[in-house]
Structure 1
Amino acid sequence: MRIALILQRSLQALFITSTALLVSCSSFGPSTIERDRMDYGLSLNTSIKQQLLGNIVRLRYMEAPIFVDVASVINQYSLSGNIDAGIGFNSGNNTGSLGAGGRWEDRPTITYSPISGRKFSESLLTPIAPESLFALVQSGWSTELMFRLTVAQINGVVDANPPLQADPRFREMLSVWNRLREARIIALRRSSNLNEKAKIVLYVNDVELDEQTREDLLFLQETLGLRKGAKEFTLSYGLISNDPDALVVLTLSILDMMVDLARLVDVPQQHIDEGRTFPTFVDTGLGGHLLKVHSSLEEPEMPYVAIRERGYWFYIDDRDLMSKRTFGVLQILLSLTDSGDAAIGPVLSIGG
């Protein structure tokens, strides 16, 4: 009886353990989705921010930027186990044993793709199309932020170009443009004809304008040299306009934006004194700073993004909303320039 009882209990333990292992294996695949999607998504986002900040800092020291895309992530999981049980008898004494073992393997394979050649040219050296820029502004993106970040000049009115400060009229024009957009006085109109340029339209017919709107329209016309009474102005890329019915906008490429922002990075004074880089540019125009990147010997506690370069930590403070917004928009603009396979993003494959 005693032997039978031992055998019965051992078999029960073996059945329970093996059942638990089978259940865990049957639900192993679905359980990885939530963890893998969040973990890899967070890691990719952090890596993208660090790479962008690292390139801006390196541009500050006159180094060429290097971008490496994550083309694919293939992760292979493996879970195996073994269970054994046995009963033995020796000189009237009975003994029993029960054992289990397992092995877990996580084997990620990550493919990297450096951005170079034609892809580098298209992504980083191509100026933002004026039509795309004004469409973003019309859809609600900040006029001040988008124009200051992406526009060098409009009809000859120049924004800050380190080491030169901005024409005061440029910054004032941004506020005027924003008010007119919110009042639905000014807007972008596209044509179905691909050969026809987009136009900026003033919707002032049969509208009773208040004093502020009248002043804004007059300021815009005088500042940009637009013909008074005209309601439509062609929009194009270029340097200077000689046409009173045209808006000629000199936009920047992603690399141009990064170079301008690099001049704002706060580097150690010792590096400036030793001739490693130029003095930090301080924008004294209206609107405050676009981006502040701090440097410190000590690792920051809770940064928005931080990298270590040349023995220092360079970081954006998580409490600096303007810098975070500028950096985030730059990320979005960089992603919008991707084409082909790069626009799809990295492929994540999980196998078991």
Structure 2
Amino acid sequence: MKAVIKRLQFFTATLVLTACNSFGPDSLRGTHPLYNDAIVGSMNEQLVLNIVRLHYRDPMFFLDVASVTASMKLDMSAGLDQSEVGLNGGSDLIKYSLGAAYSTSPTISYAPLQGEGFVKSVLSPIPIQAVFSLSGSGWNARRVFGLCVERINGLENAPSASGPTPRLAPNQNWQFNRLLELVEEVSGKQVISPRVDPETKEMQLEIKNSEEFADRIHEIKDLLGLDQNLEIYHINSDFIKSRSDTLSIRTRSLTSIFFYLSHHVHTPQSHKTAGLVTVTRNRDGSEFDWGTTPAGSLFEIRQSEDQPDLAFLAIPYRGHWFYLADNDLESKSTFMLLMQLFRLQAGTAKSQGPTLTIPVQ
């Protein structure tokens, strides 16, 4: 009898030690992807929500996940129960019991992104170097310049779209669209590339006179008013002086990009009738189609009365659902670029103000 009990005790101890040994790593593998997915999903929904808010002239607000902590607890119990069987106690019956309980208590802390550092980062123009770095790192040049550049050598990319929805349609500059088409055609061909002057440390742009792309290069320089005989051009943001050896580029700020994208939100007709949004109109009074702007063909947020089935992201707002369609790859790509720009500009800003801590049951 004693030998049996010892064996059971040894088995129980071994089981407990084995469970404790695998509990930590196994729980990490099981919970880390879930927390990662939840945080990424909530941040994505927050960006879409803020774009929709701007469409309705509602203020933006950002919460950052400051920390995620989770305490995990494993309780195990084991027992033996001996009882006699038979009228004369001729035999013994041993009952063995083993129980285990696993619980986790996550706590999530949120902090608002605000303060002087954050405001400066979202209101400052995207650095020109960052724009060229993005286009040179695999991002489509048409997408990067169509979203981030507001003006280049007099060619406008809907500058009035950088704020709340305007009542009058922006000037449609077909030349800017044509420039984006040409740049996209020669991108990746080592024809156009930024460089830094080794002596002055000034940023410059090299546009090579390639025989293969001679017609496209000639048209690019002609649209920008550049000297056809040069290959190296200065870069600045000064629009007061126009020079044939200089590219004057004005980039959008992160806030301006959010405003620009907010004009590409589909609006329920009832909301237009109620005056909840500004309807941009052409000179003849007809409704302007924001899909004709450089960013319009690259991004749109759709709306539905019911929760959509095929949605990459969907948020409820003002009695309707606003969403990015899962099969709209252009909009999803532009949204990925927006996420990268947000991290680039606002990623270094620290959370300010009180922290909201929520224990998750």
| Unpaired stretches in structure 1, ≥5 consecutive residues | 344-352
- Bigger mean CA deviation after superposition, 46-55 or 216-225: 216-225
Q: Would you say 1:111 and 2:105 are equivalent positions?
A: no
CA contact (8 A) 2:153 2:248 kept: yes
User: Cα offset for 1:288?
Assistant: 6.2
1:288-307 paired onto structure 2 within 5 Å? 289-307=297-315
CA distance in 2, matches of 1:15, 1:203: 79
| Unpaired stretches in structure 2, ≥5 consecutive residues | 162-168, 281-288, 352-361
Q: CA RMSD in A?
A: 2.5
1:233-312 paired onto structure 2 within 5 Å? 233-239=233-239, 241-279=241-279, 281-285=289-293, 289-312=297-320
1:1-352 paired onto structure 2 within 5 Å? 4=1, 12-89=7-84, 92-93=88-89, 94-161=92-159, 162=161, 163-192=169-198, 196-204=201-209, 209-210=211-212, 213-239=213-239, 241-279=241-279, 281-285=289-293, 289-340=297-348
CA distance in 2, matches of 1:99, 1:285: 71
- Bigger mean CA deviation after superposition, 145-154 or 131-140: 131-140
| Code of the aligned partner of 1:157 | L
The alpha-carbon distance between structure 1 residues 232 and 125, as it changes in their structure 2 partners (threshold 3 A), is same
CA distance in 2, matches of 1:19, 1:199: 69
Local SS of the residue matching 1:200 = strand
| Code of the aligned partner of 2:79 | D
CA contact (8 A) 1:160 1:283 kept: no
CA distance in 2, matches of 1:42, 1:69: 15
1:172-211 deviation per Cα after TM superposition (whole angstroms, max 9, x unaligned):
1112223333332221102356x6420011233xx5x14x
| Code of the aligned partner of 1:221 | K
CA distance in 2, matches of 1:173, 1:115: 37
TM-score, scaled relative to structure 1: 0.86
The alpha-carbon distance between structure 1 residues 182 and 100, as it changes in their structure 2 partners (threshold 3 A), is closer
The alpha-carbon distance between structure 1 residues 179 and 240, as it changes in their structure 2 partners (threshold 3 A), is farther
| Code of the aligned partner of 2:299 | L
User: Cα offset for 1:25?
Assistant: 1.2
CA distance in 2, matches of 1:173, 1:295: 32
User: Cα offset for 1:164?
Assistant: 1.4
User: Cα offset for 1:97?
Assistant: 3.5
1:105-131 deviation per Cα after TM superposition (whole angstroms, max 9, x unaligned):
212122222110123223321111112
Local SS of the residue matching 1:279 = coil
CA contact (8 A) 1:168 1:285 kept: no
CA contact (8 A) 2:147 2:294 kept: no
User: Cα offset for 1:170?
Assistant: 0.5
- Bigger mean CA deviation after superposition, 271-280 or 143-152: 271-280
The alpha-carbon distance between structure 1 residues 329 and 240, as it changes in their structure 2 partners (threshold 3 A), is farther
2:285 matched to which residue of 1? none
CA distance in 1, matches of 2:255, 2:317: 20
User: Cα offset for 1:301?
Assistant: 1.6
| Code of the aligned partner of 2:177 | R
Aligned positions, number: 332
1:127-172 deviation per Cα after TM superposition (whole angstroms, max 9, x unaligned):
1111221222233321110111111110110113443153101011
The alpha-carbon distance between structure 1 residues 160 and 89, as it changes in their structure 2 partners (threshold 3 A), is same
Local SS of the residue matching 2:315 = strand
CA distance in 2, matches of 1:31, 1:57: 40
User: Cα offset for 1:221?
Assistant: 2.1
CA contact (8 A) 2:122 2:346 kept: no
User: Cα offset for 1:12?
Assistant: 4.3
| Code of the aligned partner of 2:113 | I
| Code of the aligned partner of 1:318 | D
